Amino acid sequence: MIRFESVGKSYPDGTVAVGDLSLDVPDGQITVFVGPSGCGKTTSLRMINRMIEPTSGRITVDDRDTATMDAATLRRSMGYVIQHAGLFPHRTIKANIATVPLLLGWDRRRAERRALELMEQVGLPAHLAKRYPAQLSGGQQQRVGVARALAADPPIMLMDEPFSAVDPIVREQLQDAFLRLQAELGKTIVFVTHDIDEAIKLGDQVAVLQVRGELAQLAPPATLLAEPADEFVADFVGKDRGYRTLSFRSAPYPVAEEPTVPVGASTDLVRRTAVGGWALVTDDERRPLGWVDPDKVDGTVSTRSLHRGGTVASVTGTLREALDAALSSPSGRGVIVDDTGALLGTVQAREVVDAITATARRET
Ligand SMILES: Nc1ncnc2c1ncn2[C@@H]1O[C@H](COP(=O)(O)OP(=O)(O)OP(=O)(O)O)[C@@H](O)[C@H]1O
Ligand SMILES: [Mg+2]
């Protein structure tokens, strides 16, 4: 556990970047620092690995005062990721990722093996290993940044707006990849962002900071949305905070069995299977292909007669995806699939809304 005990940072010119911050960062979880520009997020993060030295209070890691540790050793024991990845431009991707392991004295072969293994884990094709950072897209560079921070397998990761320099679609892909990786690795992560949506999606707990690093609220995302501690937090999480609940990673909602027909099914079979005027068509592996209206089937179901407007939600996805699947489905029933893309069943919008309400109530 990382513990802030009345930590402060003032500069000689009188600026108080952080006044008096106390909070705990539990092991194996993602703690997000979120707040407006200049509130002291980066300062607080960098005080953990002593890239910035606190001027008051203390920070402990597993009860050891970091001020008593060797600063270089402390720094290498924590992964650090920043905006724009901060890669070494004249080193290849492989060499960038292997940097810390080599500093720690690993032999070259082992460090390179590790680099290639990490590239795969963060979703980078191996053929990029010999390229230089400038030859990669912004999203790929951020993945290299994450891989490099993970290279020496540090228990703690410090991340300062790592995904904010890429476009929204790439950002979402990076966030999803990051969550999948964290589910596997269970690192202790401190993640800085000024984006409340990102904080809610990624955080196990979220620390909302205001100027001078004052802690306005420390809570799981659902609590933050349902019970903001004060006006500042309420403003910061926004007027549409009810909708934001939808971005929760997952919550249980009922998935009803949905009868299906194959391509080639007769009009008669479609008519007997359809519920509320629509039947779901799946392929041999039970992957959903689209909905079909029996009145529009001319003899047998062909792929051309399918309504493909509806989105498909993964059962491990967010409530937003499930609700979107229901609202975009011509039958009003959202299609839910498992990890392999095979049909699990369907859910109605009303049921997703009930699940949202229940989650908010349970977590507060
Ligand atoms: N070397 C310095 N000397 C004086 N003031 C500084 C120094 N470094 C940072 N500050 C001030 O400390 C405050 C906190 O800065 P910090 O970088 O921690 O903010 P932040 O929350 O990360 O902001 P942003 O979201 O813009 O990155 C700011 O008001 C900043 O101007
Ligand atoms: Mg900052």
Summarised one tens digit per residue, pLDDT across range 63-96 is: 999 999 999 999 988 988 888 777 899 999 999 9
**Model confidence band, residue 102 (pLDDT cutoffs 50, 70, 90):** confident
Residue 198 confidence (pLDDT): 92
pLDDT at 248 over 80: no
Looking at the structure, give the CATH architecture of the domain made up of residues 260-361. Answer: Roll (3.10)
Q: What values do phi and psi take at 56, rounded to 5?
A: -155, 160
Beta strand 30-34 with 205-210: parallel, antiparallel or unpaired? parallel
Q: For the segment 107-126, what is each residue's pLDDT rounded down to a tens digit?
A: 999 999 999 999 998 889 99
pLDDT at 357 over 80: no
Among the bound ligands, the one closest to the CA of 35? 1
Residue 304 confidence (pLDDT): 86
Residue 355 confidence (pLDDT): 82
CA distances from 142 to 145, 206, 255, 264 (A): 5, 23, 36, 46
Residue 82 confidence (pLDDT): 86
Q: For the segment 314-329, what is each residue's pLDDT rounded down to a tens digit?
A: 888 888 889 999 999 9
Q: Do domains 2-244 and 260-361 have the same CATH topology?
A: no
**Model confidence band, residue 176 (pLDDT cutoffs 50, 70, 90):** confident
**What atom of ligand 1 comes closest to residue 9's alpha carbon?**
12
Residue 48 confidence (pLDDT): 98
Give distance in angstroms: CA of 42 to centre of ligand 1.
7
- Provide the token pair at 331: 């039958």
Q: For the segment 155-171, what is each residue's pLDDT rounded down to a tens digit?
A: 999 999 988 877 888 88
What residues are paired with 134 via a beta bridge? none
Neighbours of ion ligand 2 (CB under 5 A): 42
Q: For the segment 19-57, what is each residue's pLDDT rounded down to a tens digit?
A: 999 999 999 999 999 999 999 999 999 999 999 999 999
Nearest CA owner, ligand 1 atom 31: 38
**What atom of ligand 1 comes closest to residue 16's alpha carbon?**
12
User: How do the domains of the chain map onto residue ranges?
Assistant: 2-244, 260-361
**Average pLDDT for 343-357:** 89
Residues with CB under 6 Å of ligand 1 are 11, 13, 15, 17, 37-43, 194
Q: Which of 39, 161, 212 to mutate to test the pocket of ligand 1 (most atoms within 8 A of CB)?
A: 39
CA distances from 106 to 70, 87, 109, 110, 364 (A): 20, 20, 8, 7, 47
**What atom of ligand 1 comes closest to residue 44's alpha carbon?**
18
Mean pLDDT of the chain: 90
> SS3 letters for 26-76?
CCCCEEEEECCCCCCHHHHHHHHCCCCCCCEEEEEECCEEHHHCCHHHHHH
Nearest CA owner, ligand 1 atom 12: 17
Looking at the structure, give the CATH architecture of the domain made up of residues 2-244. Answer: 3-Layer(aba) Sandwich (3.40)
pLDDT at 363 over 80: no
Residue 316 confidence (pLDDT): 82
Residue 171 confidence (pLDDT): 84
Among the bound ligands, the one closest to the CA of 46? 1
CA distance 85 to 145: 5
pLDDT at 130 over 60: yes
